[in-house]
Amino acid sequence: MSGPSASVVAALRVFATCDIGDALVKLKLPYGGYLDGLKMYSPEREGGTAKIFGEAITVKMVSADDKSSPSLPKHFCDFNERDKIMFISQPKGMFSACWGGLMTTRARALGAPGVIVDGRFRDILEQREMKFPVFARGTSILGSNGYTRASEVNVPIEFAKDLWINPGDYLMGDADGVVVIPKDKIQQVVDLCTERKRIDDLTFDALHNGEPIGEAIKRLRKSS
């Protein structure tokens, strides 16, 4: 199945994570595609206008003592690609980081717009100095050496029950959080977001004109 057209992808880019999450709830994607617990740490902490959007490159990390899982032929950071977003899945509960300043330097050189870490990262001041968008669960002073290693790249990753991130799906992160958009739902999401924006604009106008919010929502949103 062919992917979404460039024009449809460009149309999706203008919306925010909240808009997209509402659309995905309507489409019955688990959790509305919301990647709960992942927050923006750089270039600011959950603030500013920074936003990343692009196709996912998935990375599966395993414990360093896991000898049975596959190994990569090169450092996982070298799999970054221009305009694509690396999503790194760290083993749950790890206290060490799996991303740092050196990796950001390499990712920027390869044209990556940011990184999303389902786990911890470090060198937060270096990330902010480079103005590189980083979304993660938290920080750590410890690196990955002796704790975790990258095992596979571009494999499906289950973020939460029935919510998967597949290579080629799209990721968006902004000050509100992170959302995954399955590539086969992008056109539907654009259609829903476009219609919802039209209704929201009318609702804002009504509120600015003094209409009570309950009445405005009932009149304009109805079953939307």
Please report, rounded to a whole number, the percentage of residues in the chain having pLDDT higher than 70: 98
Nearest to 197 by CA among 10, 29, 19: 19
150-165: average pLDDT: 98
Tell me the angle at which helices 6-13 and 186-208 cross, rounded to the nearest 10 degrees: 30
> What are 8's two structure tokens?
């449809």
Across 100-132, b (16+ Cβ under 10 Å) vs e yields bbebbeebeeeebbbbbbbbbbbbbeebeebeb
Determine the pLDDT at residue 120.
98
Residue whose structure tokens are 């009318």: 202
CATH no., domain 30-181: 3.50.30.40
Cα radius of gyration (the chain): 19
Q: Note the pLDDT tens digit of each residue in 57-96.
A: 999 999 999 999 999 999 999 999 999 999 999 999 999 9
Contact predicate 46/40, CB 8 Å: yes
Q: Note the pLDDT tens digit of each residue in 132-152.
A: 999 999 999 999 999 999 999
168-176: average pLDDT: 97
41-66: average pLDDT: 97
Determine the pLDDT at residue 3.
76
Beta strands in 91-213 (DSSP E): 115-121, 134-139, 148-153, 157-160, 163-165, 170-174, 177-181
Q: Which residues pair with 150 in a beta bridge?
A: 61
pLDDT exceeds cutoff 80 at 30: yes
Q: Note the pLDDT tens digit of each residue in 108-131.
A: 999 999 999 999 999 999 999 999
Domain ranges of the chain: 30-181
The model's pTM: 0.93
